[in-house]
């Protein structure tokens, strides 16, 4: 965990030149991100620069967050423009540069707007107060007689008595250190926040000018290709590099387990890699997608209680209906379109590494460790990132590039092939959720006893009012590198967009639906009967209104479903209409409505894009994505066999926002994906009467579930599994 | 085989003296530093490396220099004309038809070649044509809307 500040103040001043530099001192309340039980140290208590107002009036904003498509380049600029009183076009964002930006743990967990946003807004709001004070001196006017518009301070009613922010800083280096308790503008005052300007990264992205890590060119740079084992856990027995040693222009490295070939032409490096002869001893592990679930349960760590109410054991024998089900899910790849890439250059005792990463500061520290250096000798610069979804936090490629630059003394690019991208992925773990639940004759849920294996804790505690409930988990997501120390999974696993919540919500909301169906009640009415949280009730109602939800017990043969969840502070309710082709089992989603209460919305169009993107990506884990593997052998190595959602899969998606301007902005990037699996599963049940207990719901699995249903009519769908 | 090989790149005639078996994607990205053409899969299954060769959208990771000899190659860097964005680029901006942007070059060029052949496509035809271009962020419905809107703009007055 990094606690180092981004850069020394002296060094920072040297880089910036003149202008007004605004530092922010954070109180202890802003230091912790509240993410379940894992309290992460997110921001340093040290002083860090957030804003520099230049002589030309332009405002440089420094943020340790990175832009990977989620739109925070634009939304952070909006927050500063709003609080500082400048136009959006006068802002230059500097993201993810460890020499310039305030230290940050990384861009994940839907934390940027929720946790960093208030800090950034406070910095800008305090800067505005300081600038108005400077203007008051300069104009000889009382502070409270001054107004700010587009970066100019003027005397109310006397617009000619004015001074711009740029003029205030002219010829001087002015430093202001402010506390983070600034008074922020309220939603009713917003001019820039709450609007949907075009994305600031748009022009670069539609013209091909946007630079991603692999697009950085450094004079003298070599392209590296690295020798990888064929399977995780394999040991290298023989290595014969004689076929490449005399190839023109090839640099061969065999250093402390790192075998690589480098060339000025990436194809020549690739060709050379193919000429290295190896003999490997495979690993004995033979677990596969079918046997993994038994292993996850039998080898689970001690169960941890996440929440407990009432007395589960006592009511179990008394409730009218008891439902018991086991839900399963396989491994899912991140499969960002941009594979990991990094360029490392070492000069005068400092390493500069351009990396596709969600975590520039921790990456800097890992690189320093690998080089045997002090972190301040390493600078990580993050260009645009071509999709992250949690998968760009391990940073193996950046360490590889830095090590090769150190060994060869030349700038080195390491850009993973798609095959390496799959092989080295930190997959969303396979998981199992077991639930026993029960209802009274009144239709009230009286009992809930659930155990989560390997999915993790996020989304594991249902939001319903259940008097007797016990929620347990086998202790986190069991993330870790492959190898004997992490015997649960045969390869690395890690965070994947809303880690664990996709599986947990699939299980919980399927179980809720199953109970509603068993008592012959409309699934929306059943949920409302068992929910008192007013925010969730409002969100469900908003979704129902927009969708045109018609009450009926499932299965109604209409193919409609719903699911809801609370994630990253945001309330989300999703409804779907689907069609199932009974012969093939293929599911086609026709339309979806997603309603959210996410507090103040900084950029409504950006929030909609996250809803559309989350749902669309969610269709992958819901309908198709499941890594094929045998032990440590990753069998899916490209999109030819690993299917991700395509244009024809995507339904019409409508986003609905439930206004809640009294609440600070909440998470946006992850909540909408969490309900996708559940809502489609419930719609499949509504369409066919077959309940799917395993993700993904591939055509084969749906077809078999329907076939099993008709083969065994007497155990009709109205009784629980 | 190493030899001089010429083609037209974004309206300009270029000649390289190099192995004609080299892959177009890597030649564009290294020799010309035209990095808007992206590597995504290396097998022609994702579409991120799409360029237009003699009017047809092709996967530059699957073709070699000898395949483009004396042909006209258009990359994303050449799509805007005389400093004016192509209607598709304009429509992508207006509709927010991208998130991370990594698939965007390929989407634009694939759509541009398509609209040149079929100026007034139905929504289904757009979906069906774009099916082999992958986007992980989920910008699909905005991409389709942007292509529809660009098609309307390009095909006539209104």
pLDDT digits (tens, 9 = 90+) for A244-299: 999 999 999 999 999 999 999 999 999 999 999 999 998 878 899 999 999 999 98
Residues of A in contact with B33 (CB under 8 A): 217
Chain A residue at shortest CA distance from B48: A337
State the pLDDT at residue A486. Answer: 55
Whether the predicted pLDDT of A1 surpasses 60: no
Burial A547-561 (b: 16+ CB within 10 A, else e): bebeebbbbbeebbb
CA–CA separation, A454 and A328 (whole Å):
11
Q: How confident is the model at residue A7 (pLDDT cuts 50, 70, 90)?
A: low
State the pLDDT at residue A577. Answer: 98
Q: How confident is the model at residue A100 (pLDDT cuts 50, 70, 90)?
A: confident
Looking at per-residue pLDDT, the higher value among A285 and A691 belongs to A691
- Averaged pLDDT for residues A662-680: 96
Q: How confident is the model at residue A40 (pLDDT cuts 50, 70, 90)?
A: very low
Local structure of residue A433 (DSSP, 8 states): E
Suggest the residue from B27, B35, B99 to mutate for an interface test with chain A (most A CBs closer than 10 A): B99
End-to-end CA distance of chain B: 53
Whether the predicted pLDDT of A81 surpasses 60: yes
CA–CA separation, A674 and A666 (whole Å):
15
**pLDDT above 70 coverage of chain A, percent:** 90
State the pLDDT at residue A300. Answer: 87
Least confident span in A370-379, A686-695, A710-719, B109-118:
A710-719
Q: CB distance from A593 to chain B under 8 Å?
A: no
Chain B residue at shortest CA distance from A216: B35
Of B30, B89, B99, the CB nearest to A206: B89
Question: What ipTM describes this predicted complex?
Answer: 0.98
Quick one: tokens of B4? 């001089």
State the pLDDT at residue A591. Answer: 98
- What mean pLDDT is reported for chain A? 90
Whether the predicted pLDDT of A468 surpasses 90: yes
Q: Are the beta carbons of A71 and B77 separated by less than 8 Å?
A: no
Q: CB distance from B21 to chain A under 8 Å?
A: no
- The dihedral through the CA atoms of A387, A100, A197, A213 has a sign that is negative
State the pLDDT at residue A574. Answer: 98
Chain A residue at shortest CA distance from B130: A647
State the pLDDT at residue A48. Answer: 59
Q: How confident is the model at residue A411 (pLDDT cuts 50, 70, 90)?
A: very high
Strands ordered across the beta sheet of A258-263: A251-255, A258-263, A222-226, A412-415, A341-347, A350-355, A378-381
State the pLDDT at residue A183. Answer: 82
CA–CA separation, B60 and A701 (whole Å):
37
Of A201, A337, A384, the CB nearest to B136: A337
Of B33, B89, B142, the CB nearest to A207: B89
Q: Are the beta carbons of B100 and A386 separated by less than 8 Å?
A: yes
Q: CB distance from A385 to chain B under 8 Å?
A: yes
Q: CB distance from B60 to chain A under 8 Å?
A: no
φ, ψ of residue A622 to 5 degrees: the values are: -80, -45
State the pLDDT at residue A485. Answer: 42
Residues of B in contact with A217 (CB under 8 A): 33, 35
CA–CA separation, B51 and B10 (whole Å):
10
Q: CB distance from A338 to chain B under 8 Å?
A: yes
B33 Cα to chain A: minimum distance (Å): 8
Q: How confident is the model at residue A710 (pLDDT cuts 50, 70, 90)?
A: confident
Residues in CB range of B78: below 8 A, 6 or more apart: B9, B10, B11
CB of A245 closer than 8 Å to CB of A279: no
SS3 A619: helix
Of A338, A605, A615, the CB nearest to B102: A338
SS3 A516: helix
Of B33, B46, B79, the CB nearest to A639: B46
Suggest the residue from B100, B112, B135, B149 to mutate for an interface test with chain A (most A CBs closer than 10 A): B100
CA–CA separation, B153 and B158 (whole Å):
8
CA–CA separation, A298 and A277 (whole Å):
40
CA–CA separation, A337 and B101 (whole Å):
9
Least confident span in A110-114, A292-296, A493-497:
A110-114
Whether the predicted pLDDT of A232 surpasses 60: yes
State the pLDDT at residue A24. Answer: 67
State the pLDDT at residue A488. Answer: 87
State the pLDDT at residue A11. Answer: 62
Of B104, B139, B144, the CB nearest to A613: B139
Whether the predicted pLDDT of A665 surpasses 60: yes
Q: How confident is the model at residue B130 (pLDDT cuts 50, 70, 90)?
A: very high
Q: pLDDT tens across B18-43, in order? A: 999 999 999 999 999 999 999 999 99
State the pLDDT at residue A713. Answer: 64
Q: Are the beta carbons of B138 and A617 separated by less than 8 Å?
A: yes
Three-class SS of chain B: CEEEEEEEECCEEEEEEEECCCEHHHHHHHHCCCCCCCCCCCCCCCCCCEEEECCEEEECCCCEHHHHCCCEEECHHHCCECCECCHHHHHHHHHCCCCCCCCHHHHHHHHHHHHHHCCCCCHHHHHHHHCCCCCCCCCHHHHHHHHHHHHHHHCCCC
Quick one: tokens of A276? 């290295």
Quick one: tokens of A415? 């850009």
Q: Is the peptide bond prior to A696 cis by the omega test (within 30 degrees of 0)?
A: yes
Q: Are the beta carbons of A652 and B33 separated by less than 8 Å?
A: no
Q: pLDDT tens across A54-65, in order? A: 888 899 999 999
The candidate with the shortest Cα–Cα distance to A338, out of B37, B92, B103, is B103
Q: pLDDT tens across A498-545, in order? A: 999 999 999 999 999 999 999 999 999 999 999 999 999 999 999 999
Surface of A (539-558) touching B: CB under 8 A = none
Q: CB distance from B102 to chain A under 8 Å?
A: yes
**pLDDT above 90 coverage of chain A, percent:** 78
Whether the predicted pLDDT of A394 surpasses 50: yes
A384 Cα to chain B: minimum distance (Å): 8
Q: CB distance from B42 to chain A under 8 Å?
A: yes
Whether the predicted pLDDT of A181 surpasses 80: no
Q: How confident is the model at residue A318 (pLDDT cuts 50, 70, 90)?
A: confident
Quote helix, strand, coil % in chain A, to nearest 5: 30, 25, 40
CB of A113 closer than 8 Å to CB of A121: no
Whether the predicted pLDDT of A39 surpasses 50: no
Q: pLDDT tens across B59-100, in order? A: 999 999 999 999 999 999 999 998 899 999 999 999 999 999
Q: Are the beta carbons of B75 and A208 separated by less than 8 Å?
A: yes
Residues in CB range of B153: below 8 A, 6 or more apart: B87, B90, B91
Specify which residues A597 forms β-bridges with.
A571
State the pLDDT at residue A630. Answer: 96
């Amino acid at each position: 965990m990094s606690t180092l500040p981004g850069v020394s103040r002296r060094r920072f001043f040297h880089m910036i030149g003149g202008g007004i530099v605004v530092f922010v001192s954070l109180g202890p309340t802003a230091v912790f991100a509240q993410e379940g039980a894992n309290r992460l140290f997110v921001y340093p208590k040290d002083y860090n620069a957030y804003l520099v107002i230049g002589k030309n009036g332009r405002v440089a904003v420094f943020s340790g967050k990175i832009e990977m498509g989620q739109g925070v380049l634009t939304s952070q600029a909006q927050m500063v423009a709003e609080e500082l009183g400048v136009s959006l076009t006068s802002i230059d964002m500097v993201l993810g540069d460890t020499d310039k930006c305030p230290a940050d743990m990384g861009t994940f967990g839907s934390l940027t707007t929720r946790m960093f946003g208030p800090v950034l807004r406070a910095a800008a709001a305090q800067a505005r107060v300081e600038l108005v004070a400077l203007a008051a001196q300069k104009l000889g006017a009382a502070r409270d007689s001054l107004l700010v518009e587009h970066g100019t301070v003027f005397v109310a009613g006397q617009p000619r008595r004015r001074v711009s922010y740029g003029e205030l800083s002219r010829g001087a280096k002015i430093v202001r250190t402010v506390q983070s308790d600034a008074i922020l503008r309220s939603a009713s005052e917003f001019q820039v926040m709450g609007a949907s300007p075009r994305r600031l990264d748009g022009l670069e992205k539609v013209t091909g000018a946007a630079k991603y890590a692999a697009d950085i060119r450094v004079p003298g740079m070599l392209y590296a290709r690295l020798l990888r084992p064929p399977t995780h856990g394999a040991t290298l027995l023989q290595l014969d590099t004689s076929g490449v040693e005399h190839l023109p222009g090839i640099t061969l490295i065999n250093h402390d387990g790192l075998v690589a070939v480098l060339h000025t032409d990436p194809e020549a490096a690739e060709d050379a890699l193919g000429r290295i002869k190896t003999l490997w001893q495979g690993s004995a592990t033979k677990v596969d997608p079918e046997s993994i679930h038994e292993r996850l349960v039998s080898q689970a760590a001690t169960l941890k209680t996440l929440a407990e109410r009432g007395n589960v054991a006592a009511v179990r024998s008394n409730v009218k209906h008891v439902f018991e089900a086991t839900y399963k899910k396989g491994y899912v790849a991140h499969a960002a379109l941009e594979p990991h890439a990094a360029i490392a250059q070492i000069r005068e005792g400092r390493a500069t590494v351009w990396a596709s990463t969600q975590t520039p500061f921790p990456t800097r520290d890992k690189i320093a460790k690998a080089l045997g250096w002090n972190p301040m000798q390493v600078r990580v610069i993050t260009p645009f990132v071509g999709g992250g979804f949690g998968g760009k936090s391990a940073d193996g490629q950046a360490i590889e590039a830095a090590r090769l630059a150190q060994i060869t003394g030349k700038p080195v690019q390491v850009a993973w092939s798609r095959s390496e991208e799959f092989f080295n992925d930190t997959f969303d773990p396979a998981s199992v959720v077991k639930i026993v639940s029960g209802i009274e004759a009144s239709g009230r849920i009286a009992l809930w006893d659930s155990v989560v294996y390997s999915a993790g804790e996020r989304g594991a505690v249902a939001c319903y009012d259940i008097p007797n409930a016990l929620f347990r988990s086998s202790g986190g997501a069991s993330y870790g590198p492959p190898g004997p120390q992490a015997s649960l999974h045969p390869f690395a696993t890690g965070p994947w967009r809303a880690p664990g919540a996709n599986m947990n919500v699939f299980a919980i909301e399927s179980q809720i639906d199953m109970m509603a169906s068993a008592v012959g009640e409309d699934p929306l009415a059943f949920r409302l009967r068992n929910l008192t949280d007013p925010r969730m009730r409002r969100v469900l109602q908003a979704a129902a209104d927009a969708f045109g939800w018609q009450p009926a017990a499932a299965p109604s043969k209409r193919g409609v479903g719903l699911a809801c969840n609370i994630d990253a502070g945001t309330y989300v309710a999703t409804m779907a209409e689907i069609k199932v082709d009974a012969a093939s089992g293929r599911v086609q989603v026709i339309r979806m409505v997603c309603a959210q209460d996410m507090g103040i919305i900084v950029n409504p169009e950006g929030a909609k894009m996250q809803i559309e993107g989350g749902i669309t990506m969610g269709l992958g884990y819901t309908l198709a994505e499941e890594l094929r593997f045998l032990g440590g052998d990753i069998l899916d190595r490209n999109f030819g066999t690993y299917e991700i959602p395509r244009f024809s899969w995507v339904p019409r998606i409508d986003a609905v926002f439930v206004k809640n301007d009294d609440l600070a902005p909440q998470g946006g990037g992850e909540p909408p994906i969490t309900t996708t699996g559940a809502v489609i599963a419930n719609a499949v049940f509504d369409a066919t009467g077959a309940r799917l207990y395993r993700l993904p719901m591939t055509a084969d699995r749906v077809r078999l579930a329907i076939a099993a249903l008709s083969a065994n009519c007497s155990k009709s769908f109205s009784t629980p599994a | 085989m190493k030899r001089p090989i010429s083609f037209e790149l974004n309206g300009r005639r270029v000649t390289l003296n190099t192995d004609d078996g080299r892959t177009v994607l890597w030649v564009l990205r290294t020799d010309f530093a035209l990095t808007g053409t992206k590597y995504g899969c290396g097998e022609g299954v994702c579409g991120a490396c799409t360029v237009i060769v003699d009017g047809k959208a092709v996967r530059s990771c699957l073709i070699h220099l000898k395949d483009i000899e004396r042909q006209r190659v258009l990359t994303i860097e050449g799509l805007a004309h005389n400093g004016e964005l192509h209607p598709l680029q304009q429509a992508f901006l207006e509709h927010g038809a991208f998130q991370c942007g990594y698939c965007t070059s390929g989407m634009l060029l694939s759509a541009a070649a398509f609209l040149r052949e079929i100026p007034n496509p139905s929504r289904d035809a757009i979906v069906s044509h774009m099916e082999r271009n992958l986007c992980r962020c989920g910008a699909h419905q905005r991409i389709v809307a942007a292509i529809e809107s660009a098609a309307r703009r390009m095909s006539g007055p209104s």
